Amino acid sequence: MHTRRDFIQKLTGSLIALQISPALVTAGCNNIIVPYDGPLLRVAIIGLGSYGTRVAEAMKDCKKAKLVGVISGTPSKIKDWQAKYNIPEKNCYNYENFDQLKNNPDIDVVYVITPNALHKDQVIRVAKAGKHVISEKPMSINAKDGQEMIDACKKAHVKLLVGYRMHFEPKTLEIIRMRKVGELGKVLFFQGLCGFTIGDPTQWRLNKQLSGGGSMMDIGIYAINGARYMIGEDPIWVTAQETKNNPEKFKEGVDETIQFQFGFPGGAVASCLSTYSMNNLDRFFLNGEKGYAELYPSTGYGPIQGRTSKGELTQPHVTHQTVQMDEMAGIILEGKQPVVPVDGEEALKDLKIIDAIYEAVKTGKKVDLKL
Ligand code: NAD
C-alpha cells in the first residue's frame, strides 16, 4: 500500500531530479500536497506485543510522529523491529537499562504498551529519565497509583498522556459536537455495552497480578470513559453488580461480567455492561430530549458505524492509532488542546470510577463519586 509519505517523498524526489524547488512549484499550483516540515515527535515503544505492533504499523502513516526506538526484554524482537522500522542500535533498550534514556537526545516520548500493572513503574522511570510518556489504558490499576504517576510526571516537567484513541475518532467527535451545540437536546440517558469472549485462560489479562482486575480494566473502561465524553459530565454516583459463571477461568479479583449504573449532576443516568464472556457487545447509545445517537460498533478498531436521529454518520474511517499519534504530537510539541482530554487527570477519573465500581460490587451499596 502506498502511503501519503511515499507519495510526498516521490513527488519531492521528482522535483529535485528536475532541479525545481518544491516551494516554487507548490506556490504557483493548486491541489499539490505541501510536504510537512514542522516538528516531529520521536517515539520509543516499550512492550512489543500485539497492540505495540498495531501502533508501530499505524505510525508508518503519521505525519508528525515517528517510531525511532524500542524497549523490550526479548533481544530477537528488538532485532526484528530494528530491521522493520529502521531503528538504530543506540535507540534500543531493555527493561534493566532504559533509565539511560536520559542520555539520549534523539527520543522525545516513550509509549508504554505493557500489561496494566507494569504501567506505573515504567511511566515513573521514563519520567525520571526526563522523557514525555504515553501510557496505554488503563493508566494503572488503581487511583492511588495513577496519582503517583501524575505527580512523578509533574515533578519531572514531562507530559503524561493516555492512549484514548476514541477521543480522536471522527464519528465519536461528531456526536460530541451535536450534543454540545444542543442538537440532541438535554441528554438524559447513555447505554454502554462493552465486551468480548476472552480465550486463553493463561494470558496476563486473566492474571490479577498483571491485569489488576478483569474485564472492567480492559474493556469496561471504554463504557466508563464513553459515558463521560458522550454525556459531557462526570458521574456523581455509581452502583454495580457482578456475575461470575466461570470461577475456574475468572479467579478471585478477576471480574467476568459487571453491570454498572451512573448518575450525573445534570440528571442523566447511564447503564453499562462490561464482560469477558459475550461477543457482539460494542455499542453506545445516547438519548436526549430532541434526538439520539448510536454507535455500533463503538470502540473497536473500526470502521466505527453509527447514526443519529438526523441520519447515518458518514465521517470517513481513519486508522485510530495514526490519528492519535499525530494529534498527540501536536499536544506534546505544540501545546494543542484536544476536544476530549487525553492527559493523566482524565485517566485518573476513570481509575477513581473503577475503584468505586469494585467497591460497589463488594458492598452492594451506591458509592458517591468526587472526581
Ligand atoms: P500483549 O500481551 O500482546 O503485549 C504485552 C507486551 O508486554 C509483550 O510484548 C510482552 O512481552 C511485554 N511484557 C513485558 N513484561 C511482561 C510481563 N511481565 N508479562 C507479560 N508481558 C510482558 O498485550 P497487548 O494487547 O499489547 O496489551 C498491552 C497494553 O495495551 C495493555 O495495557 C492493554 O490494555 C493495552 N491495549 C490497548 C488497546 C487500545 O485500543 N488502546 C488495545 C489493546 C491493548
Grid coordinates in use for 340? 476530549
The reported pLDDT for the residue numbered 31 is: 59
Q: Is the beta carbon of 48 within 6 A of some atom in ligand 1?
A: yes
Q: Is the beta carbon of 196 within 6 A of some atom in ligand 1?
A: no
Instruction: Please tell me the distance between residue 113's alpha carbon and the centre of ligand 1 in angstroms.
Output: 5
Pocket of ligand 1, candidates 51, 120, 215: which has the most ligand atoms within 8 Å of its Cβ, to mutate? 51
Q: Is the beta carbon of 165 within 6 A of some atom in ligand 1?
A: yes
Region class of 337: left (phi > 0), else alpha (psi between -120 and 50), else beta = beta
> What gap in Å lies between CA 330 and CA 332, rounded to an integer?
6
Instruction: Please tell me the distance between residue 139's alpha carbon and the centre of ligand 1 in angstroms.
Output: 12
The reported pLDDT for the residue numbered 243 is: 98
The DSSP bridge pattern shows strands 306-308 and 292-295 to be antiparallel
Q: Is the beta carbon of 213 within 6 A of some atom in ligand 1?
A: no
Q: Which residues are catalytic?
A: 137, 222
Instruction: Please tell me the distance between residue 31's alpha carbon and the centre of ligand 1 in angstroms.
Output: 42
Q: Is the beta carbon of 195 within 6 A of some atom in ligand 1?
A: no
What separation, in Å, do the N-terminal and C-terminal C-alpha atoms of the chain show? 45
Instruction: Please tell me the distance between residue 309's alpha carbon and the centre of ligand 1 in angstroms.
Output: 38
Q: Is the beta carbon of 51 within 6 A of some atom in ligand 1?
A: yes
Q: Is the beta carbon of 52 within 6 A of some atom in ligand 1?
A: yes
Residue type for 337, please? Q
The reported pLDDT for the residue numbered 35 is: 83
Q: Is the beta carbon of 95 within 6 A of some atom in ligand 1?
A: no
The DSSP bridge pattern shows strands 187-195 and 281-288 to be antiparallel
What are the distances in angstroms from CA 275 to CA 112, 271, 278, 283? 25, 14, 6, 13
52 contacts 74 by C-beta, under 8 angstroms: no
Q: Is the beta carbon of 321 within 6 A of some atom in ligand 1?
A: no
> What gap in Å lies between CA 3 and CA 5, rounded to an integer?
5
What is the three-state SS of the chain? Answer: CCCHHHHHHHHHHHHHHCCCCHHHHHHHCCCCCCCCCCCCEEEEEECCCHHHHHHHHHHCCCCCEEEEEEECCCHHHHHHHHHHHCCCHHHEECCCCHHHHHHCCCCCEEEECCCHHHHHHHHHHHHHCCCEEEECCCCCCCHHHHHHHHHHHHHCCCCEEECCHHHHCHHHHHHHHHHHCCCCCCEEEEEEEEECCCCCCCCHHHCHHHHCCCHHHHHHHHHHHHHHHHHCCCCCEEEEEEECCCCCCCCCCCCCEEEEEEECCCCCEEEEEEECCCCCEEEEEEEECCCEEEECCCCCCCCCCEEECCEECCCCCCCHHHHHHHHHHHHHHHCCCCCCCCEHHHHHHHHHHHHHHHHHHHHCCCEECCC
Residue type for 307, please? R
The reported pLDDT for the residue numbered 29 is: 44
> What gap in Å lies between CA 342 and CA 329, rounded to an integer?
12
Ligand 1: nearest atom to the Cα of 165: 41
Instruction: Please tell me the distance between residue 12's alpha carbon and the centre of ligand 1 in angstroms.
Output: 38
Residues 6+ apart with CB under 8 A from 292: 184, 285, 286, 308, 309
DSSP-assigned beta bridge partners for residue 292: 287
Residue nearest to atom 40 of ligand 1 (CA): 165
Per-residue pLDDT of the chain (371 residues; tens, 9 = 90+): 344 444 444 444 343 333 333 333 333 345 567 788 899 999 999 999 999 999 999 999 999 999 999 999 999 999 999 999 999 999 999 999 999 999 999 999 999 999 999 999 999 999 999 999 999 999 999 999 999 999 999 999 999 999 999 999 999 999 999 999 999 999 999 999 999 999 999 999 999 999 999 999 999 999 999 999 999 999 999 999 999 999 999 999 999 999 999 999 999 999 999 999 999 999 999 999 999 999 999 999 999 999 999 999 999 999 999 999 999 999 999 999 999 999 999 999 999 999 999 999 999 999 999 99
Residue nearest to atom 1 of ligand 1 (CA): 49
- Give the other-Cβ count within 10 Å of 187's Cβ: 24
- Give the other-Cβ count within 10 Å of 300's Cβ: 14
Instruction: Please tell me the distance between residue 114's alpha carbon and the centre of ligand 1 in angstroms.
Output: 4
Pocket of ligand 1, candidates 113, 121, 202: which has the most ligand atoms within 8 Å of its Cβ, to mutate? 113
> What gap in Å lies between CA 324 and CA 322, rounded to an integer?
5
